[in-house]
Amino acid sequence: MAIFKEGDEIVRELSFSLAQNEAFDEEMARDPRVFIIGEDIGEHWGGPMGQFRGLFAKYGAERILETPISETAMMGAAIGAAATGMRPVAAMMFVDFLGVAADELLNQLQMRYMFGGKTTLPLTILAGIGTGVSAAAQHSKSLFGWLIAIKGLKIVVPSTPYDAKGLLKSAIREDNPVIFLSHKMLGGRLTSEIPDEEYTIPLGKADIKREGTDVTVVATAFMVHRALSAAATLQEEGISLEVIDPRTLVPLDKQAIFDSVRKTGRLVIISEEPRTGSWAAEVSATVVEEAFDYLDSPIKRVCAPDTPVPFTPGQEKFWTPDEDDLIKAVREII
Amino acid sequence: MNIEKDRLIDMYRTMVRIRQFEERVSKEFASGNIPGFVHLYIGEEASGTGACAALRPDDYITSTHRGHGHVIAKGGRMDRMMAELFGKKTGYCKGKGGSMHIADTDLGILGANGIVGAGIPLAGGAALSARMRGTDQVVICFLGDGASNRGTFHEGINLAAVWQLPVVYVLENNLYAEKTRISDTYKLTNLSDRAGAFGIPEVTVDGNDVIAVYEAVQVAVEKARAGEGPSLIECKTYRIHGHFEGDPQTYKPAEEVEEWKKKDPIDNFRKRLADMGVLTDEDTGAIDREVAGEIDDAVRFAVESPFPAPEEALEDVFA
């Protein structure tokens, strides 16, 4: 994948899916207990974003386990294997499908707590999220608000290939259940420079994707890119946005958000999910409770409307928060 | 039948432990010493005992909401289980789980489960893990007649069948799913007939005959250990108490209860052991008294143990 850039320096630019692919490969090579279980991840496909391509050829059917269309059995098997010494990666394809394995998520993942700390569950769940491809209500959700309500689960939402690789490696090494959410719209042309040498990114550490002085924008996944684009537009008017990407919803790097709000005095949260019961609401409430004195104006949430996700492109675009929605919110508080 | 004497005696002792443990739990619950819900296994002792007798110490079980008997049969400690039921810090789960979440992973007990049928997919995962780690461990998945109408039953057993995983499904058919008769939820007479749908062997046994259960499960365990895949064994038995303690049981005909009391698994096994010359009435009486002492000790341990501090509720969420 190496491409030449200016001068003699060779830089590896990888896509979101290939960065994840490298993470899987490195972690499977590093630890024989790591395996991937899911639907259509093997010989004939490689997953909806191609992130599993080549792994079957290298690791075989013993470690790339293709299941029937049985999400309940798959999630349950991953939990059972994690409780007995393995480190499974369960590929759920789309986050919407978690509904089919809801008991495993709501009632079985909490084994460690229910057993009084006796068990560890080193389990990574992979799921695609987001709108953008007219996949309609059953293949487009992000479910952040729903997922943060599940206790005992860490939640990773990367926005760049670099972050995706480093966070995925950390997720697989975690001794806790982690869900790793990949936004569909990040699977395309977006690339990051990926170093040759190995690296990991700790869970719970936000990244400032753009420094600014006037308004803090908290964004995750594809919304980070929309926030950066809005920031470029507003910069021309002399309004400076600081874009904070928490990268993990649980644990949440609250301090990074507080520090930014202390500097800017203003906060907008852009999140691709319906407003009511959203993760954005939780961030807003947290800042009000713990950092209210830093605020010079009301917090704004830029979210989707309280409806299921529509299919037709015009409606899907209307539903999904974008640069214009964000710019409008910023103007209301500046 | 060719079972060594010591094993028969162990099975008798285990059944008596389960019976006395449960009878004591019933009393302690009625006295208000045990919070929450408890679901008792009285009348079903033979199936858990016979099944676990076919396992090695390093084998696994997944259990159900009616799990105290499975835990005792797999070698779990009655004092720590009783302490857990009392909500004490010395309990198996430090008071965080209670009756429906008793687990001892060191003994391969992967947990009771408050969700009916939830253990079925977990058992497949433990079996997959055993195979991937290159061991020949086997998993017994206990489930009830109610669980066999859940989607987990179909997904979980199908996956185990396709992958030839070392699981033995022990379906304890006690005739009632909570308060609903099995005849209202099944068109089949033998629930084990569903095994055919997954292409795995089926066996139906008298679940109140500990020897019959042991022999059937032993065959299935050996198959599983040899890599020949899962089996489904239906143990026909009866739940003498209600779905939960305090259940008025208006749905059970009195003559049915009387009929099943005549098939009491412990009384019948005691007679059989006497006939076989394994244990005299005097011997079994001595065992019964020893177990009564163990139960008293377990309750004393539970009563004398401290409750966990309230703020310890914040611990054990993440490793």
Q: What are the sequence ranges of the domains in chain A?
A: 2-193, 207-333
pLDDT given at position A148: 98
User: What domains, with CATH codes, occur in chain B?
Assistant: 5-77+115-301 (3.40.50.970)
User: What residues form DSSP beta bridges with A180?
Assistant: A126, A156
**In this complex, do A108 and B97 lie within 8 Å of one another by their Cβ atoms?**
no
pLDDT at A4 over 50: no
Q: Is the pLDDT of residue A3 over 80?
A: no
Is the model's pLDDT at A188 over the cut of 90?
no
Return all residues near B153 (Cβ < 8 A) that are at least 6 apart.
B117, B120, B143, B147, B194
ipTM of this complex: 0.96
Inter-residue contact A214 to A266 (CB < 8 Å): yes
Question: Quick check: B96 and A175 CB within 8 A?
Answer: no
Pair A309, A141: CB distance under 8 Å: yes
Cross-chain residue pair B133–A86, CB shorter than 8 Å: yes
Query: For every one of its 319 residues, what pLDDT tens digit does chain B have, with 9 covering 90 and above?
Result: 689 999 999 999 999 999 999 999 999 999 999 999 999 999 999 999 999 999 999 999 999 999 999 999 999 999 999 999 999 999 999 999 999 999 999 999 999 999 999 999 999 999 999 999 999 999 999 999 999 999 999 999 999 999 999 999 999 999 999 999 999 999 999 999 999 999 999 999 999 999 999 999 999 999 999 999 999 999 999 999 999 999 999 999 999 999 999 999 999 999 999 999 999 999 999 999 999 999 999 999 999 999 999 999 999 999 9
**Total-model pTM:** 0.95
Q: Provide, as residue numbers in chain A, all residues whose Cβ is less than 8 Å from the Cβ of B127.
A: 80
- Residues of B numbered 161-180 whose beta carbons fall under 8 angstroms of chain A's beta carbons: which are they? 162
CATH code of domain A207-333: 3.40.50.920
Residue (of B224, B164, B169, B227) closest to B195 by Cα position: B169
Q: Which residues contact A170 (CB under 8 A, 6 or more apart)?
A: A200, A201, A202, A203
CA distance B61 to chain A (A): 11
Summarize pLDDT for A216-246 with one digit per residue, the tens.
999 999 999 999 999 999 999 999 999 999 9
Give me the catalytic one of A44, A139, A183, A225. A139
Q: How confident is the model at residue A7 (pLDDT cuts 50, 70, 90)?
A: low
Q: Which of helix, strand or coil describes residue B104?
A: strand
Question: Can you spell out the DSSP letters for A267-319?
Answer: EEEEEEEESTT-HHHHHHHHHHHHHGGG-SS--EEEEE-SSPPP-SHHHHHHH
* Burial (CB count within 10 angstroms: exposed 0-12, middle 13-18, buried 19+), residue B165: buried
Topology annotation, domain A2-193: Rossmann fold (3.40.50)
Q: Is B109 on the interface with A (CB under 8 A)?
A: no
H/E element, B51: helix B45-52
Question: Cα-Cα-Cα-Cα dihedral of A137, A140, A144, A149, to 10°?
Answer: 40
- Distance between CA atoms of residues B190 and A286, nearest Å: 56
Nearest to A314 by CA among A86, A115, A131, A46: A131
- Predicted pLDDT at A10: 62
Q: pLDDT value at position A9?
A: 56
Q: Do domains A2-193 and A207-333 have the same CATH topology?
A: yes
Residues of chain B numbered 26-85 and touching chain A (CB < 8 Å): 60, 62
> CB-based contact (8 Å) between B141 and chain A?
no
Q: What is the pLDDT of residue B1?
A: 64
* Residue B314 touches chain A, beta carbons under 8 Å: no
Among B272, B151, B299, B281, residue whose Cα is nearest residue B208: B272
Instruction: Please give the radius of gyration of chain B, using alpha carbons only, rounded to the nearest integer.
Output: 19
Q: Which residues of A touch B312 (CB under 8 A)?
A: none
Dist. CA A250–CA A265, nearest whole Å: 24
User: Which residue in chain A has the smallest CA separation from B123?
Assistant: A80
Q: Following DSSP, what letter does each residue of B153-203 receive, concatenated? A: HHHHHHHHHHTT--EEEEEEE-SEETTEEGGGT-S-SSGGGGHHHHT--EE
What's residue A321's pLDDT? Answer: 98
pLDDT at site B292: 98
- Cα-only R_g, chain A: 20
A44 a catalytic residue: no
